[in-house]
Amino acid sequence: MIASIVFIGTLLNSCSSDDTPASSGTPIGGGGTEVPNNYTDQQLTEMVQKDVLKYFWDYAETNSKLARERYHTDNPSQDANVVTTGGSGFGLMTILVGIKNGYVPRAEAVSRLTTSLNFLQNADRFHGAWPHWMNGTTGQVIPFSTMDNGGDLVETAFLAQGLICVREYFKNSSDASELALSQKADALWKGIEWSWYTKGENVLYWHWSPNYNFQMNMQLKGFDETLITYVLAAASPDYTIDKPVYQQGWARNGTIKSTASVYGIPVIVNHNGANGTVGPMFWSHYSFLGLDPRGLSDEYVNYGEATTNHARIMYQYCLTNPKGWQGYNSKSWGLTASYSRNTDGSTGYAAHQPNNDLGVISPTAALSDMPYTPTESMNVLRFLYNENYSKYIGVAGPYDAYSVHYNWVIPRYLAIDQGTIAPMVENYKNQFLWQLFMNAPDVKQGLLKLGFHSTQYGF
């Protein structure tokens, strides 16, 4: 049996939650008026961090202890052994937050992390990269699509970001098991063959398959969620890339820069496919759980401004609410990729953004924006936990998506959505993961190689 998270004090025991959620694709049940809670902001940030940690602790894949791709409270056995590589990287960082704050027993967490890293060591790899999905029992690739049955460099980068944080957190430990864990994390990250994924060109490619080679042909070009891939590729001691790969690939020879403004707010970067506005909010989350954007710039872009302005524009878009959705306001906002509601009321999945606004709010969008928009993000956290606890909060924190307009909520979770919340809230509170990652010597070397400067870290 998987041990439950150790809760400190009576904070969560005092919550009166209804853990019997509405069925998928159906309206919220109930009736009557919810009695509001009155938790303080400090209590709320602790509650949400503990709640989302449960996804990676109580609901982890049972063999590998890595993150399940999804957990459906209305069908718990669905995809029970499908492990997600990127979501597991976010899970490693979430567990570190749990260790640091005393939410889980340190020794038990080290044991579980060791189990996970041993699994990764023996799992399928493709020129060092893990696939998007793995079977948590066998470690074998589960194809994400027909040709996506090999290495996924971006998902691998999200995992490596977590591995480096694990390495850094335990590297000076006097405990033998913790030191061994740190060394294992280091070896796993250093085995990723980033340079293979250039095909000898000045750009990184997302996928390689032993059956289909590079046929998927997806180049990584900014601005989207893939910046961390270039940073880690440059930081690699044995499989590094040179600066022109970054300049011509991610930065597109400078055309990543944008002079556009939305609502009077400079967009800073060209959001791929967003046509002058901004993309889904996860583009400013996934690379920045460890990579600190504050005062971080290369010769083209100030990433602190780009990520903060992304969040500000998203907030203003929801306030302006050009499509007139009920429930969009200063305490219910944020569009990103998540479960969604199709026009016929069935459940779907969508990359919600201003150019694809379906009336669905994804809580992870605003909550993971907390370092960028602390006041506006805290309004959402209060709305969820103090005003709508029984509607929108379940066994592992805020449900993945809801729509006030359609009186709809999905009682399901996705690793990549739950996994950004605790790390970004912790970065807002004390820059914990940012400092771990940015102070790693190889990360700093990689950033310098690509021409980055950081006012926060003195380079």
Q: Could you read off the pLDDT of 157-173 as tens digits, one per residue? A: 999 999 999 999 999 99
Section 109-130 average pLDDT:
98
- Stated pTM of the model: 0.93
- pLDDT at residue number 395: 98
Lowest mean pLDDT among 252-256, 269-273, 405-409, 435-439: 269-273
- pLDDT at residue number 5: 41
| Rg over CA atoms, the chain | 21
Residue 306: pLDDT band by 50, 70, 90 thresholds? very high
Report whether pLDDT(4) > 60: no
Section 257-270 average pLDDT:
96
Model confidence pLDDT, tens digit, residues 61-77: 999 999 999 999 999 99
Q: Which structure tokens are listed for 309?
A: 């302005």
Report whether pLDDT(394) > 70: yes
- pLDDT at residue number 276: 78
- pLDDT at residue number 275: 74
- pLDDT at residue number 6: 35
Report whether pLDDT(9) > 90: no
Alpha-carbon separation of residue 140 from 44, 123, 125, 150 (angstroms):
39, 6, 9, 10
- pLDDT at residue number 27: 46
**Separation CA 249–CA 298 (nearest Å):** 14
Alpha-carbon separation of residue 100 from 166, 290, 422 (angstroms):
12, 16, 12
- pLDDT at residue number 365: 99
Report whether pLDDT(17) > 60: no
Report whether pLDDT(21) > 50: no
Model confidence pLDDT, tens digit, residues 307-349: 999 999 999 999 999 999 999 999 999 999 999 999 899 999 9
Report whether pLDDT(148) > 50: yes
- pLDDT at residue number 35: 86
Q: Tell me which amino acid residue 49 is.
A: Q
CATH number for the region 41-454 comes to 1.50.10.140
